[in-house]
Protein backbone atom coordinates (compact mmCIF):
# COMPACT_ATOMS: atom_id res chain seq x y z
CA UNK A 1 0.00 0.00 0.00
CA UNK A 2 1.28 3.49 -0.85
CA UNK A 3 2.81 5.13 2.24
CA UNK A 4 1.06 8.44 1.59
CA UNK A 5 -2.30 6.70 1.39
CA UNK A 6 -1.50 4.89 4.64
CA UNK A 7 -0.83 8.23 6.34
CA UNK A 8 -4.04 9.67 4.93
CA UNK A 9 -6.03 6.66 6.11
CA UNK A 10 -4.71 7.13 9.64
CA UNK A 11 -6.02 10.72 9.56
CA UNK A 12 -9.48 9.76 8.33
CA UNK A 13 -12.26 10.17 10.86
CA UNK A 14 -15.48 8.48 9.86
CA UNK A 15 -17.86 11.48 9.51
CA UNK A 16 -21.37 11.39 10.92
CA UNK A 17 -22.83 11.92 7.46
CA UNK A 18 -20.87 9.11 5.83
CA UNK A 19 -23.91 6.89 5.45
CA UNK A 20 -25.68 9.70 3.60
CA UNK A 21 -22.62 10.25 1.42
CA UNK A 22 -22.51 6.54 0.64
CA UNK A 23 -26.12 6.76 -0.47
CA UNK A 24 -25.16 9.67 -2.71
CA UNK A 25 -22.71 7.34 -4.43
CA UNK A 26 -25.54 4.93 -5.15
CA UNK A 27 -27.77 7.78 -6.31
CA UNK A 28 -24.98 8.95 -8.59
CA UNK A 29 -25.06 5.62 -10.38
CA UNK A 30 -28.84 5.48 -10.53
CA UNK A 31 -29.48 9.04 -11.62
CA UNK A 32 -26.43 9.95 -13.70
CA UNK A 33 -25.98 6.90 -15.91
CA UNK A 34 -26.62 9.13 -18.93
CA UNK A 35 -23.25 10.73 -18.08
CA UNK A 36 -21.48 7.72 -19.53
CA UNK A 37 -23.95 6.16 -21.94
CA UNK A 38 -27.49 7.36 -22.37
CA UNK A 39 -28.91 3.84 -22.79
CA UNK A 40 -27.64 2.81 -19.33
CA UNK A 41 -30.72 3.53 -17.27
CA UNK A 42 -31.71 -0.12 -17.71
CA UNK A 43 -28.40 -1.40 -16.34
CA UNK A 44 -29.17 -1.06 -12.63
CA UNK A 45 -32.32 -3.14 -13.06
CA UNK A 46 -30.31 -5.93 -14.66
CA UNK A 47 -27.11 -5.89 -12.60
CA UNK A 48 -27.83 -4.42 -9.18
CA UNK A 49 -24.41 -5.58 -7.99
CA UNK A 50 -23.02 -2.52 -9.77
CA UNK A 51 -24.13 -0.60 -6.66
CA UNK A 52 -21.04 -2.00 -4.92
CA UNK A 53 -18.87 -0.14 -7.42
CA UNK A 54 -20.88 3.04 -6.86
CA UNK A 55 -20.07 6.37 -8.43
CA UNK A 56 -16.68 5.25 -9.70
CA UNK A 57 -18.20 2.99 -12.40
CA UNK A 58 -16.95 4.00 -15.85
CA UNK A 59 -17.38 2.60 -19.31
CA UNK A 60 -13.97 1.36 -20.42
CA UNK A 61 -11.30 0.81 -17.80
CA UNK A 62 -8.38 -1.53 -17.39
CA UNK A 63 -8.08 -4.67 -19.45
CA UNK A 64 -7.88 -7.95 -17.53
CA UNK A 65 -5.52 -10.31 -19.30
CA UNK A 66 -6.19 -13.61 -17.56
CA UNK A 67 -9.69 -14.01 -16.15
CA UNK A 68 -8.78 -17.40 -14.67
CA UNK A 69 -6.43 -15.70 -12.18
CA UNK A 70 -8.70 -12.88 -11.04
CA UNK A 71 -10.24 -12.33 -7.63
CA UNK A 72 -13.65 -12.24 -9.27
CA UNK A 73 -13.43 -15.83 -10.45
CA UNK A 74 -13.22 -16.93 -6.81
CA UNK A 75 -16.69 -15.54 -6.10
CA UNK A 76 -18.26 -15.80 -9.57
CA UNK A 77 -17.03 -18.54 -11.92
CA UNK A 78 -15.90 -17.99 -15.51
CA UNK A 79 -18.99 -19.80 -16.74
CA UNK A 80 -21.22 -17.54 -14.66
CA UNK A 81 -19.36 -14.47 -15.94
CA UNK A 82 -19.97 -15.54 -19.53
CA UNK A 83 -23.64 -16.17 -18.80
CA UNK A 84 -24.21 -12.78 -17.18
CA UNK A 85 -22.37 -11.01 -20.02
CA UNK A 86 -24.61 -12.71 -22.57
CA UNK A 87 -27.71 -11.91 -20.51
CA UNK A 88 -26.79 -8.24 -20.13
CA UNK A 89 -26.11 -7.96 -23.85
CA UNK A 90 -29.46 -9.54 -24.73
CA UNK A 91 -31.31 -7.30 -22.28
CA UNK A 92 -29.70 -4.07 -23.46
CA UNK A 93 -31.71 -1.72 -25.71
CA UNK A 94 -28.53 -1.51 -27.78
CA UNK A 95 -26.83 -4.96 -27.93
CA UNK A 96 -23.50 -3.51 -29.04
CA UNK A 97 -23.54 -0.97 -26.20
CA UNK A 98 -24.70 -3.68 -23.81
CA UNK A 99 -21.68 -5.79 -24.68
CA UNK A 100 -19.37 -2.88 -23.90
CA UNK A 101 -21.08 -2.19 -20.58
CA UNK A 102 -21.13 -5.86 -19.59
CA UNK A 103 -17.39 -6.13 -20.18
CA UNK A 104 -16.73 -2.90 -18.26
CA UNK A 105 -18.94 -4.13 -15.43
CA UNK A 106 -16.91 -7.32 -14.91
CA UNK A 107 -13.56 -5.56 -15.34
CA UNK A 108 -14.41 -2.93 -12.77
CA UNK A 109 -15.93 -5.43 -10.38
CA UNK A 110 -12.52 -7.11 -10.42
CA UNK A 111 -10.84 -3.75 -9.79
CA UNK A 112 -13.26 -3.14 -6.93
CA UNK A 113 -12.38 -6.47 -5.35
CA UNK A 114 -8.68 -5.62 -5.63
CA UNK A 115 -9.37 -2.29 -3.94
CA UNK A 116 -11.41 -3.95 -1.19
CA UNK A 117 -8.77 -6.60 -0.55
CA UNK A 118 -6.12 -3.92 -0.09
CA UNK A 119 -8.06 -1.79 2.39
CA UNK A 120 -10.21 -4.30 4.29
CA UNK A 121 -8.91 -6.84 6.77
CA UNK A 122 -8.70 -10.46 5.50
CA UNK A 123 -11.80 -11.36 7.50
CA UNK A 124 -13.71 -8.34 6.25
CA UNK A 125 -12.70 -8.98 2.65
CA UNK A 126 -13.77 -12.64 2.82
CA UNK A 127 -17.24 -11.65 4.02
CA UNK A 128 -17.54 -8.69 1.63
CA UNK A 129 -16.50 -10.67 -1.46
CA UNK A 130 -19.00 -13.37 -0.51
CA UNK A 131 -21.77 -10.76 -0.40
CA UNK A 132 -20.75 -9.46 -3.81
CA UNK A 133 -20.86 -12.99 -5.19
CA UNK A 134 -24.33 -13.49 -3.68
CA UNK A 135 -25.57 -10.27 -5.31
CA UNK A 136 -24.16 -11.25 -8.70
CA UNK A 137 -25.92 -14.60 -8.47
CA UNK A 138 -29.19 -12.76 -7.87
CA UNK A 139 -28.46 -10.68 -10.96
CA UNK A 140 -27.97 -13.84 -12.99
CA UNK A 141 -31.18 -15.39 -11.67
CA UNK A 142 -33.10 -12.26 -12.68
CA UNK A 143 -31.58 -12.37 -16.16
CA UNK A 144 -32.11 -16.08 -16.75
CA UNK A 145 -35.56 -16.36 -15.20
CA UNK A 146 -37.81 -13.37 -16.03
CA UNK A 147 -40.63 -15.16 -14.17
CA UNK A 148 -38.72 -15.35 -10.89
CA UNK A 149 -40.26 -13.90 -7.74
CA UNK A 150 -38.86 -10.37 -8.13
CA UNK A 151 -40.21 -9.20 -4.78
CA UNK A 152 -38.22 -11.93 -3.08
CA UNK A 153 -35.09 -11.07 -5.08
CA UNK A 154 -35.34 -7.36 -4.29
CA UNK A 155 -35.77 -8.12 -0.60
CA UNK A 156 -32.67 -10.31 -0.66
CA UNK A 157 -30.74 -7.54 -2.45
CA UNK A 158 -31.69 -5.06 0.27
CA UNK A 159 -30.53 -7.51 2.93
CA UNK A 160 -27.17 -7.96 1.18
CA UNK A 161 -26.66 -4.20 0.82
CA UNK A 162 -27.45 -3.73 4.50
CA UNK A 163 -25.02 -6.50 5.50
CA UNK A 164 -22.34 -4.91 3.31
CA UNK A 165 -22.93 -1.36 4.57
CA UNK A 166 -20.18 -1.50 7.19
CA UNK A 167 -17.68 -2.40 4.45
CA UNK A 168 -18.93 0.02 1.81
CA UNK A 169 -18.85 2.86 4.34
CA UNK A 170 -15.23 2.09 5.10
CA UNK A 171 -14.28 1.94 1.40
CA UNK A 172 -16.32 5.02 0.51
CA UNK A 173 -14.38 7.00 3.09
CA UNK A 174 -11.42 6.72 0.69
CA UNK A 175 -13.30 7.67 -2.48
CA UNK A 176 -16.28 9.91 -1.56
CA UNK A 177 -15.76 13.51 -0.49
CA UNK A 178 -17.40 16.86 -0.01
CA UNK A 179 -16.51 19.62 -2.47
CA UNK A 180 -14.45 21.26 0.27
CA UNK A 181 -12.42 18.08 0.75
CA UNK A 182 -11.95 17.74 -3.01
CA UNK A 183 -10.72 21.34 -3.18
CA UNK A 184 -7.74 20.38 -1.03
CA UNK A 185 -6.66 17.84 -3.68
CA UNK A 186 -6.43 20.26 -6.62
CA UNK A 187 -4.62 23.53 -7.36
CA UNK A 188 -7.48 25.34 -9.10
CA UNK A 189 -10.71 26.72 -7.65
CA UNK A 190 -13.67 24.35 -7.80
CA UNK A 191 -16.50 26.72 -8.65
CA UNK A 192 -20.20 26.15 -8.54
CA UNK A 193 -21.88 27.98 -11.44
CA UNK A 194 -22.43 31.68 -10.79
CA UNK A 195 -25.18 31.58 -13.41
CA UNK A 196 -28.04 29.09 -13.10
CA UNK A 197 -31.03 29.29 -15.47
CA UNK A 198 -34.26 30.51 -13.91
CA UNK A 199 -36.39 27.70 -12.53
CA UNK A 200 -33.53 25.36 -11.57
CA UNK A 201 -32.39 24.46 -8.04
CA UNK A 202 -29.30 22.68 -6.71
CA UNK A 203 -30.28 19.09 -5.91
CA UNK A 204 -27.02 17.37 -5.00
CA UNK A 205 -23.27 17.53 -5.29
CA UNK A 206 -20.65 14.88 -4.74
CA UNK A 207 -16.93 14.46 -5.23
CA UNK A 208 -15.24 11.11 -5.66
CA UNK A 209 -11.99 9.54 -6.78
CA UNK A 210 -11.50 6.36 -8.74
CA UNK A 211 -10.62 3.33 -6.69
CA UNK A 212 -7.34 2.95 -8.58
CA UNK A 213 -6.26 6.37 -7.22
CA UNK A 214 -7.90 7.05 -3.86
CA UNK A 215 -7.24 10.53 -2.49
CA UNK A 216 -6.13 11.76 -5.94
CA UNK A 217 -7.69 13.42 -9.02
CA UNK A 218 -11.26 13.92 -7.80
CA UNK A 219 -14.27 14.08 -10.07
CA UNK A 220 -16.94 16.53 -8.95
CA UNK A 221 -20.58 16.15 -9.96
CA UNK A 222 -23.16 18.88 -9.36
CA UNK A 223 -26.81 18.27 -10.23
CA UNK A 224 -29.56 20.85 -10.78
CA UNK A 225 -33.24 20.11 -11.34
CA UNK A 226 -36.29 22.11 -12.31
CA UNK A 227 -38.18 23.61 -9.39
CA UNK A 228 -41.45 22.53 -11.01
CA UNK A 229 -40.60 19.82 -13.50
CA UNK A 230 -38.67 16.64 -14.14
CA UNK A 231 -35.78 17.93 -16.26
CA UNK A 232 -32.35 19.03 -15.15
CA UNK A 233 -28.66 19.17 -15.91
CA UNK A 234 -25.41 17.75 -14.57
CA UNK A 235 -21.99 19.33 -14.28
CA UNK A 236 -18.86 17.18 -14.07
CA UNK A 237 -15.44 18.58 -13.23
CA UNK A 238 -12.91 15.88 -14.02
CA UNK A 239 -9.33 15.26 -15.03
CA UNK A 240 -8.62 14.81 -18.73
CA UNK A 241 -7.12 11.40 -19.46
CA UNK A 242 -6.51 9.46 -22.64
CA UNK A 243 -7.88 6.21 -21.20
CA UNK A 244 -11.06 7.80 -19.85
CA UNK A 245 -14.35 7.20 -21.58
CA UNK A 246 -15.29 10.14 -23.81
CA UNK A 247 -18.94 10.73 -22.99
CA UNK A 248 -19.33 13.30 -25.76
CA UNK A 249 -18.55 10.55 -28.27
CA UNK A 250 -22.01 9.00 -27.76
CA UNK A 251 -23.61 11.88 -29.68
CA UNK A 252 -23.98 12.16 -33.47
CA UNK A 253 -22.16 15.49 -33.80
CA UNK A 254 -19.33 17.21 -31.90
CA UNK A 255 -18.50 20.84 -32.71
CA UNK A 256 -15.24 22.37 -31.43
CA UNK A 257 -14.91 26.13 -31.13
CA UNK A 258 -13.52 28.98 -29.02
CA UNK A 259 -15.69 31.28 -26.92
CA UNK A 260 -14.36 34.18 -24.83
CA UNK A 261 -10.90 32.64 -25.12
CA UNK A 262 -11.97 29.22 -23.82
CA UNK A 263 -11.92 25.91 -25.74
CA UNK A 264 -15.46 24.49 -26.03
CA UNK A 265 -16.98 21.33 -27.45
CA UNK A 266 -20.70 20.93 -28.10
CA UNK A 267 -22.11 17.42 -28.59
CA UNK A 268 -25.60 16.88 -29.92
CA UNK A 269 -27.69 14.38 -31.85
CA UNK A 270 -29.57 14.60 -35.09
CA UNK A 271 -33.05 15.55 -33.79
CA UNK A 272 -35.44 12.64 -33.32
CA UNK A 273 -38.09 11.53 -30.88
CA UNK A 274 -35.82 9.01 -29.11
CA UNK A 275 -33.07 11.33 -27.87
CA UNK A 276 -35.09 14.53 -27.49
CA UNK A 277 -33.00 17.60 -26.77
CA UNK A 278 -30.38 16.00 -24.50
CA UNK A 279 -26.97 17.42 -25.33
CA UNK A 280 -23.54 17.80 -23.78
CA UNK A 281 -20.87 20.48 -23.69
CA UNK A 282 -17.34 20.76 -22.31
CA UNK A 283 -14.93 23.58 -21.56
CA UNK A 284 -11.26 23.33 -20.66
CA UNK A 285 -10.06 24.86 -17.39
CA UNK A 286 -7.11 27.05 -18.49
CA UNK A 287 -3.69 25.88 -17.34
CA UNK A 288 -5.07 22.71 -15.77
CA UNK A 289 -5.55 19.11 -16.87
CA UNK A 290 -9.22 19.38 -15.98
CA UNK A 291 -12.41 20.16 -17.86
CA UNK A 292 -16.02 20.88 -16.99
CA UNK A 293 -18.60 18.72 -18.78
CA UNK A 294 -22.29 19.55 -18.80
CA UNK A 295 -25.16 17.27 -19.77
CA UNK A 296 -28.56 18.96 -20.06
CA UNK A 297 -32.04 17.67 -20.81
CA UNK A 298 -33.71 20.67 -22.44
CA UNK A 299 -31.44 23.73 -22.14
CA UNK A 300 -30.34 25.60 -25.25
CA UNK A 301 -26.72 25.73 -26.41
CA UNK A 302 -26.55 29.39 -25.39
CA UNK A 303 -27.80 28.70 -21.86
CA UNK A 304 -25.28 25.89 -21.44
CA UNK A 305 -22.47 28.19 -22.54
CA UNK A 306 -23.52 30.79 -19.95
CA UNK A 307 -23.49 28.20 -17.16
CA UNK A 308 -20.02 26.90 -18.08
CA UNK A 309 -18.50 30.35 -18.59
CA UNK A 310 -19.73 31.34 -15.12
CA UNK A 311 -17.60 28.50 -13.72
CA UNK A 312 -14.32 29.23 -15.49
CA UNK A 313 -14.21 33.00 -16.03
CA UNK A 314 -12.35 35.01 -13.38
Q: What is the mean pLDDT of the chain?
A: 79
Let me know whether 148 and 230 are in one domain. Answer: no
Domain boundary among 104, 139, 174: 174
The string of pLDDT tens digits covering residues 124-169 is 999 999 999 998 888 888 888 878 888 898 899 889 989 999 999 9
Let me know whether 58 and 79 are in one domain. Answer: yes
Let me know whether 95 and 26 are in one domain. Answer: yes
How far apart are alpha carbons 155 and 176 in whole angstroms?
Answer: 27
Specify the pLDDT at position 139: 85
What is the mean predicted confidence (pLDDT) over 207-221? 88
Structurally, the chain folds into a number of domains equal to 2
Residue 237 has pLDDT above 90, yes or no: yes
Specify the pLDDT at position 227: 94
User: Which CATH number do you get for residue 218?
Assistant: 3.30.200.100
- 108: helix, strand or coil: helix
The string of pLDDT tens digits covering residues 255-312 is 999 999 999 999 998 876 455 678 999 999 988 889 999 999 899 999 999 999 999 9
Range of the domain at 33: 3-174
What is the mean predicted confidence (pLDDT) over 47-51? 67
Let me know whether 187 and 164 are in one domain. Answer: no
Domain boundary among 146, 174, 202: 174
Let me know whether 167 and 74 are in one domain. Answer: yes
Alpha helices in the chain (DSSP H): 3-11, 18-31, 43-46, 78-91, 95-119, 122-144, 150-172, 179-183, 301-312
User: 55 pLDDT band (50/70/90 cuts)?
Assistant: low
Q: Which of 34-38, 99-103, 248-252 has the lowest mean pLDDT?
A: 34-38
Specify the pLDDT at position 29: 39
Domain boundary among 132, 147, 174: 174
The CA distances from residue 154 to 24, 114, 139, 166, 178, in Å, are 20, 27, 10, 20, 30
Amino acid sequence: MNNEIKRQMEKIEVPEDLHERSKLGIMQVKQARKKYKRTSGWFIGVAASILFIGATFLIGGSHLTDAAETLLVKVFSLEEQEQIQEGIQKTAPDPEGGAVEAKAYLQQMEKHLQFAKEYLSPEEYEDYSRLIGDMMKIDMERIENPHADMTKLYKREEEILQDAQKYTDKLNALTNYTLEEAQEMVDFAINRPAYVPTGYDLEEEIAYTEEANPLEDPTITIKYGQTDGEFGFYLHIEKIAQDKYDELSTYDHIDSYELNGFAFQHAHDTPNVDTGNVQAMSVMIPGEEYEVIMVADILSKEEMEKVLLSMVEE
